[in-house]
Structures are given as structure tokens and as C-alpha cells.
Amino acid sequence: MEPLQLLLLSGALSLLSAVQAEGPKLIPARSWQLLGDWNIVRWAGNMPIPEKRKAHPLPPFMFAINKLKKLEFRMNIMKPIGCIQFKLPLDEHSEPGLFFTWWRHKIYISLLPGKKHAIASFKDKVDNILHQMMMLMGRTLDEDAEAVKVFVDFVNSTGLKRTDMVHPNHVGACKLPPKS
């Protein structure tokens, strides 16, 4: 996985304040609600990622509390030497659903009703260009038509198009080590 994909994944963890017009009420997430294993069900964005990289398999990821008592995003990524674990600590803001990366990027994460799916979003200007990234994440890879519909509506509300969405492959991706 290239650095752009790392930016995609960390950035994908941010942007949600824009949607919630119609449809189910999204619930701003707190750290303790995010703990555990997740999968990227869909993602969308306008980050400069080559088309062939967008199709690369995406592994599951997890949120855990690290030694510094901070929420941490963990995902194995493929490098020429094999799978390595990428870790991104997140500072939880007093505003529910808002997290900051160490780069000070804002990431919004909201749970869908039922708390088995969430939407993470990121929006920031880089070199005067607005970049946005969002992902629908689920506790499993099972398709949930209502969750996908909410995500499609969210993507459309940000100015991106449904054609900007990616349904990632998961076969062949680096897996997280089993819990001990």
C-alpha cells in the first residue's frame, strides 16, 4: 500500500458534519463505541489516487486503546517486505464524533442506528485544493442495503458522485494478527 492509500485510510477516518438532512439519524461516535474490528464496506473521495491503486484489496482494521490511553486505528498494510502494521493514534475531542490525527486533521465518525455500521469522513484543503474522503465501515462484510443507501446519500451530499464510490475487494489483503 502506498503513502497515498495511508492518507486515504487515515483521511477516510473524517467529514461527517455535512449530511444528516434526511434518512436515519447518525449518532456521533465516542471512543468506547468504536473499539474492536471493522471492515471498509465502501469508500469515496477525490484524493489523487491512481485508478489501479483504488482496486487494491483492503484488509480489516481495528480500533484499540493504546498504551497512552488514546484511541488508535490499526491496519496491516502491504509493503515490499510483507505485511506491516500501520497505527494512527486519534485524539478524541470534547465534541462527540470528532477526532484529530497527529497531523491535526479532523476526522468525524458517526454510527448508524444499530451501531453495526459507521461513516468516517475527512475534509481538508491541501495546496488550495479541497480533498475529501469518506468510508462506510461495518463490523462485518455483510451487505446492509440501508447502510449503503445512507452512505450513497452522504456521498452525494458532499458534492461527490456515486461513480466516485469504490466497493473494495477484501480477498488477498493483509489480515490483522489473531487476538491473543
- Spatial separation of the C-alpha atoms in residues 44 and 67, rounded to whole Å: 32
pLDDT digits (tens, 9 = 90+) for 66-125: 999 999 999 988 888 888 999 999 999 999 999 999 888 899 999 999 889 999 999 888
Q: Is the pLDDT of residue 21 over 50?
A: no
Question: What pLDDT is attached to residue 124?
Answer: 87
Q: Which amino acid is at 123?
A: K
Task: Centre a 10 Å sphere on the Cβ of residue 176 and count the other Cβ atoms it contains.
Answer: 15
pLDDT digits (tens, 9 = 90+) for 28-77: 999 999 999 999 999 999 888 888 778 788 899 999 999 999 999 999 88
CA–CA distance from 134 to each of 18, 161, 179, 180 (Å)? 12, 12, 28, 31
pLDDT digits (tens, 9 = 90+) for 105-118: 899 999 999 889 99
Q: Who's near 144: CB < 8 A, 6+ residues apart?
A: 41, 116, 117, 138
Q: Identify the band that residue 7 occupies on the pLDDT scale cut at 50, 70 and 90.
A: very low
Question: What pLDDT is attached to residue 170?
Answer: 83
Mean pLDDT of 141-166: 89
Q: Which domains does the chain have, with CATH numbers?
A: 3-166 (2.40.128.20)
Q: Is the pLDDT of residue 13 over 50?
A: no
118, 117, 157: which is closest to 109 by C-alpha? Answer: 118
Q: The whole model's pTM is what?
A: 0.81
